[in-house]
Amino acid sequence: MAREKSSKDNAQALFHSLRSAYAATPVNLKIIDLYVGFAVFTALIQVVYMATVGSFPFNSFLSGVLSCVGTAVLAVCLRIQVNKEFKDLPPERAFADFVLCNLVLHLVIMNFLG
């Protein structure tokens, strides 16, 4: 009983400390995190849809999922480069790179969609 209680306490303490640490991050980073979450969520929806309906135009499925995963990954890279603690790269340059990579990503997706 005591062990279960302590592990539950542990989980709660973990959850609280994570929450408080996260609340301290700046707002622009939270927006990027929201975007990443949205992209991953969209990818999951697509995978569930594929599991129910079948994967016939496989290239369309791949292009859809990879566009979500791609923008999520690029947004995480943007977050890394914008975060003041890790880099001394001007944020405009980071954002310009982000836009360029997204442009290339979506052009390839358009070609691959079929």
Partner 1 sequence: MTTVTNMPLSDLLKSFKLKTKQQELLIRVSILCLVYILAFITRLFSVLRYESMIHEFDPYFNYRTTLYLTQNGFYDFWNWFDYESWYPLGRIVGGTLYPGLMVTAVLIYRILHFLRFAVHIREVCVLTAPFFASNTTLVAYFFGKEIWDTGAGLVAAILIAICPGYISRSVAGSYDNEGVAIFALLFTFYLFVKAVNTGSLAWSLASAFGYFYMVSAWGGYVFIINLIPLYVLVLLITGRYSMRLYVAYNCMYVLGMLLAMQIRFVGFQHVQSGEHMAAMGVFFLMQVFYFLDWVKHMLSDTKLFQAFLRITVTCAVVVGTIALGLGMLSGYISPWTGRFYSLLDPTYAKDHIPIIASVSEHQPTAWSSFMFDYHILLFLFPAGLYFCFKRLSDATIFIVMYGLTSMYFAGVMVRLILVATPAVCLISAIAVSATVKNLTVLLRSKNKGVLTGSTKGSSSSRASSKALLDQSQPFQKNGAIALLFGAFYLLSKYATHCTWVTSEAYSSPSIVLAARGAHGNRVIFDDYREAYFWLRQNTPVDAKVMSWWDYGYQITAMGNRTVIVDNNTWNNTHIATVGRALSSYEDEAIEIMRSLDVDYVLVVFGGVTGYSSDDINKFLWMVRIGGGVFPVIKEPDYLVNGEYRVDKGAAPKMLNCLMYKLCYYRFGEMLTEYGKPPGYDRARGVEIGNKDIKLEHLEEAFTTSNWIVRIYKVKPPNNRW
Binding site for partner 1 (CB under 8 A): 10-11, 13-14, 17-18, 21-22, 58-59, 62-63, 66, 69-70, 73-74, 76-77, 80-81, 86-87, 89, 94, 97-98, 100-101, 104-105, 108-109, 111-112
* All residues at 6 or more sequence positions from 95 whose CB lies less than 8 Å from its CB, including other chains: 78, 82
Contact at 8 Å (CB) between 106 and 67?
A: yes
CA angle 17, 25, 91 (to 5 degrees): 150
Q: How far is the CB of 112 from partner 1 (least distance, A)?
A: 6
Cβ distance to partner 1 smaller for residue 45 or 104: 104
Q: How far is the CB of 97 from partner 1 (least distance, A)?
A: 4
